[in-house]
Structure formats: C-alpha cells, structure tokens
A and B are shown apart, each in its own frame.
Chain A
C-alpha cells in the first residue's frame, strides 16, 4: 500500500514552514501562539504548577494533623489551607490539565489541523490562569484567602460571617475559570462535530474524544449555574442581598439551602467533568499497551453518555444531612451511576484480558488507576445509601472516598496520560525507570495516606478539623500519623517526576511517530507535530484505530464488520483526508 511506503519518507525533518506559519519562540510563543498544541501545553504546565501549590497545602495540613494538639498551623490558616487546596485541585488543576490534554490531543485524534476557534482557545487559557491567580492573590490580603471551604456554604460565606477581600476574590476567580471552561467546552464541541477527518464518524471517535464531548456538554449545562450562584453570593456579600441567609424581612427570608442546591447542581456534574477525561485517557493507554481495541467500544460510549445524563440528577446526595431533600430519588439515581461505571471497569478488564500487556510506566499508572479507583467507586455506593451517609458524611470517610476517586482515579490516570503522550508532546520519551519509581512511591504513599482515612472517618473524625486532642484516643493518633507519613511519601513521588521531565529535556530518548505502536490518529503525525499537525495523507479511517489498521493489515478488530459502524463506512483516500466531516 502506498500509504505505508510513505511512512519512511515522512520521517525526514519537515521543510521550512511558510512565513505566515512561522512561530516565535520561548516566552513569546507561549504568550501569543494560537496553535492548539502550544495552548494545550500551556494548560498542562500551568495546572501542574497549581498541582504543586495545592499539593504543598495538602502536605501542610497533614503535617498539622500528624500529632494531636499540634500548634503548627492555627485554625484560621488551616481553614484557608483546605479551602484553597480544594479549590485549586478541583477547579484549577484536575479539570484544567484534562483541558490541556484535550487541546493537544483532540485535533490530532480526529485528524484535524487545529481547533475550531484557536484564539478563543487562547482566551480560555488566559482566563483560567488569571482566575487561578485571582483566587491565590487572596492569600496576600489582610484577612487572608477565602476560608469557607471549597463549596462555600451560605450563610457562612456571606459578608457578615466571612468578611474580607479573600472571599470576594474567590468568587471572582471561580467565575473567571467558569467562563474559561464554557469557552473551552464550546470549542471542543465545535471541533469534534465539525472538523473530523473524512471517514471519522462519531462511532469511530477515540474514547478520549467521546468522553471530552460529554464533559463539554456537562460544562455547558452546569457552569452557568455556578456563575449565577456566584453572582448571587456576591450580591449577598457586597450589596446587602439576603438571597442565601435566613434573615426575615417583612415576613419573608432567604434560603441558606438554596446555595447548596445550586452549588451541587454544578458541583456533582463537576466531579464527572473532572473524572471522565481521565477515564478516556486510561482507556487509550490500556488499549495501546494491551495491543487490543477497546473492548465493547460502543458499550463504553453508551456508559459515558449514561453517566453524563445521570450526573445532572444526583446533586442532592451531598445534602442528605440537611433533612430537606428527597432521599429515595437521589439515592436511587446515585446508585444507578454504579452500573455504567461498573460497565467501564469490565470494559477495561476486558481490554486487558487476552491482550499482550507491556508494563510501561504509563501502564503502571493505568493499572494503579484501576486498583485505586474501584475503591472510590464502591465507597461511593456506600455513601449513596442515606442511612450510611447520615453517619459517614462530613467525616474523613468522605475525604478518603473522594481522594480515591479524584486522586486514585484522576491523578493516576493523569500520569498515565503524561507518560503515554509525552513522546507526542515533545518528541522524547520520559525515562521508564524513573517513571516506575514514581509510580511505586505514589501508589504506596497514596494508599497509606488515604486508606486509613476511611477508618478515621468510621472512628468519628469529622473532616475539616484543624486539630484533634490526645483525649480522642490512640486510634486517632496512630491513624493520623500513618496518614501523614503516607502523605510525605506521596509528596516525595513528585520529585522523580520533576527530575524525569528535566532529565528528558536534557538527554531524553528521541522517538519517532509511534513509539508505542498505538492505534489512534495522533500517532500518525510526527512527534512533536508541526503546525497543521499532519505532514502526510491520513490513513483510511475504518475504525477507531486507523493507524493500527494501516500498520497491521490483517489484524483489524475482529468484530468490527459484524457490529457495523454506521452508514459512512469506508474509505478514504488521500485527497480529501484532512479536515472535513462526515
């Protein structure tokens, strides 16, 4: 096939780009380039920066809780710490990193030359960065940063109970990142539905794209609610509004619980906004390193859509203890989410079983994801039961639960993604040995830190407590100490990663287009891809793994034809292969 012959020719360095495509270098490139890859990289680097900041805050909190009656950090500072830790990790790190990966990878995976709105993409990035800086700037004001927790329950977060600039800056920064998220979501959706290469039908989109599509839809549905609630809260704080407090004026009063309803209508889908991209990343990684197609691809897509739909109808499961929500309704829908999530687990396992696994650093993290995330999943079902939740909510059990979801799920998958796509990002491979060292430190440290927190919660330790006393007993003392030591190991796991990045930058192994022998379209482009992405005609797109099909003729997915993939089956020659849709 001519396509394959061309492969070797494509390895030559690309010709000098035409003048209008020349890019500045260094910081000017970061500041001005609208190339989706530059914006994506900027997103990723920035959010890793926020991860380090938020992680140090977490370490500080664990240091304070390492021993009883500790006076290391006072109550006020501790309250700011957990507020900022939550806000940064949830709004400025995990989701934003996924946006970075999506910016970089989605156009490549769908065979497009760039995002649909490239400069809007830059705007998203800068709004995100300035939002994060605005929130952080609160720490340098007189009363410190926001200290009402990342979900800012009213009336605690109103102007009387939490005066000070920090709270206003929190609202401002969160609104900025909300706007940024909406712009990105519009961009992702438009890109994925209009810019797909010829032959790339919806049911040939890689799973990562599908998940980002659903994530983008959830962002459009829920971020406006957050922004609206933020405006109302700001009105309460600054203009004497009484929307969220119970002050009775002329016989009527505001409703504190209304904030919780609105916040969690955003907040719960937000959890899926954070985790679904990482489901996508892990799926790509597992498929590539098992050398098999994603098992039950269509089932996986339907499971993602189901999770997306259910996630908008479960918000009040954070509010069982308020006593003012419909327990059976929210309990039923919350438990139902376990079904599509379980289906995904079986899909991942089904992809691995019967495959030829290569245990790269990336695959280590993906397996770590499976092992840790399942624990977060099953404790989620426990918490969905009102009678258990009323005991466990607002305790360290919940802290353990969502760290298993967002760290055990999100961050493990994040590093799987970094090690997987790093050759595509930079043209160099991260060192496998350092990566595996990082994995084992992270796996041990993470489980040590957070598994014992389940027990702490069951023993009666509420979350968001700045200290505990010796009178709380030996279990509190020892479990907290174990957790803090684990946190130290977990923190240490970041060092091999940073070293690995530095080391690779200096003398990393240079690799070609497709070092992992993976199947999706981004591996057809050079590493790193030039402006415009593809320097040769795309392969025929007949499945969700066009590169695999082209490079391993005779080894196409077995059930592909039998299962059918929609009407526009087939094709695709070179002539009309870039851009375009179907």
Chain B
C-alpha cells in the first residue's frame, strides 16, 4: 500500500491556480484599454469601462492572494488529513476537517432572508419576522461554529 510510484517534488513557481486568475485579469486589462480607446470618438462608456476594470482588479488581486497563500493552505490541509489518517488526531477533533454535522441554522437563514426580501415587495411588516428569524439563525450558526472551536 505504501509503494510510491514517483517521489513528490514540492511544487514551485507560480501556482496554476494563480495563473488562471492572472490570465483573466490580464485579458480584462488589455480589453478594457481597447474598449476605452475604441469608445473615445463616441464618448467613453463608463459602465463597461468600470466593470471591466473591476474584473481586472478582482482577478489580479485574487491571483496574487493565491500566489501568496495557496501553498501554505494546501500544506496545512494535507498535514491535518495525514494526522487524521494516522490516528494522531480524532476525526471529530476541533482541528480536523469539519465533517458534515446536521445544522438547522442554514434553513433558518434561508427562511429569514426569504421573508425579509419578500418584505421588499409586501411591506416592512412582512419583513419583521423575517429579520428576527434571520438574526436568530445567524447567531445560532455562529454559536454552533464556536462550540466546535472552529471557523
């Protein structure tokens, strides 16, 4: 079972995950410049220009964020998994991967948010119970996480 087919070399360089976002971001930068230049004769169209710029900023930021953090996160997850496998860590230990537990709070958040948003149409009186359920469920949700010592 432990036979290794090839040694794992530590991954180096820019992670592929980042490259995807860098590619999207670079494309958005280029296309935004073309869009602005092409629209100068008829007046700059701001909504598209800004949307494309936001696309570029988000993608490049996220790519950089991943480049900085992704290997560390992946190593952490891997390490925890290995410790669970070897029995060093109980499966339901706070540090272990959060495995499915039942929780009623997401349903409460959904109902609460649904009533609240429906209140946008039906009126504020309709939203009141919604907000109450939403807040209560959000607190319950957070509390449940805290009890487990995670999140």
Contact = CB atoms under 8 A, between A and B. Distances in A.
So, do A and B actually touch in the complex, CB under 8 Å?
yes
A134 B114 contact: yes
By size class, the interface of chain B is 35 or more
B114 to A, nearest CB: 3
By size class, the interface of chain A is 35 or more
B77 interface: yes
B38 A326 contact: yes
A575 B106 contact: no
B102 to A, nearest CB: 4
A126 B111 contact: yes
Contact of B100 (A34, A141, A165, A328): A34
Contacts of A113: 97, 99
Nearest to B45: A261
A325 B43 CA distance: 11
Interface in A156-183: 165-169, 171-173, 175-176, 179
Interface in B27-61: 27-28, 31, 34-35, 38-39, 42, 45, 47-48, 51-52, 54-55, 58-59
A20 interface: yes
A304 to B, nearest CB: 10
A576 B6 contact: no
A134 B102 CA distance: 26
Contacts of B39: 326, 329
Contacts of B109: 123, 126-127
B132 interface: no
B27 to A, nearest CB: 4
Interface of B: 1-13, 15-17, 20-21, 23-24, 27-28, 31, 34-35, 38-39, 42, 45, 47-48, 51-52, 54-55, 58-59, 66, 70, 73-75, 77-82, 85-86, 91-92, 97-107, 109-111, 113-115, 117-118, 120-122, 141, 144
Given A194-B77, A570-B7, 13 more contacts: A119-B105, A123-B141, A125-B106, A126-B113, A176-B113, A193-B74, A217-B21, A309-B28, A531-B99, A570-B6, A571-B4, A576-B82, A580-B79
Interface of A: 2-3, 18, 20-21, 23-24, 29, 31-36, 113-114, 118-120, 122-123, 125-127, 129-131, 133-134, 137-138, 141, 165-169, 171-173, 175-176, 179, 193-196, 198-199, 201-203, 213-214, 217, 220-221, 225, 234, 238, 258, 261-262, 265, 305, 308-309, 312-313, 315-316, 325-326, 328-329, 333, 531-532, 537, 540, 542, 566-576, 578-582
27 contacts: A32-B102, A32-B103, A35-B100, A119-B105, A123-B106, A126-B106, A131-B117, A134-B118, A168-B120, A169-B122, A198-B8, A198-B78, A201-B16, A221-B59, A262-B51, A305-B24, A309-B24, A312-B28, A312-B51, A313-B28, A315-B48, A333-B31, A571-B7, A571-B8, A580-B74, A581-B70, A581-B78
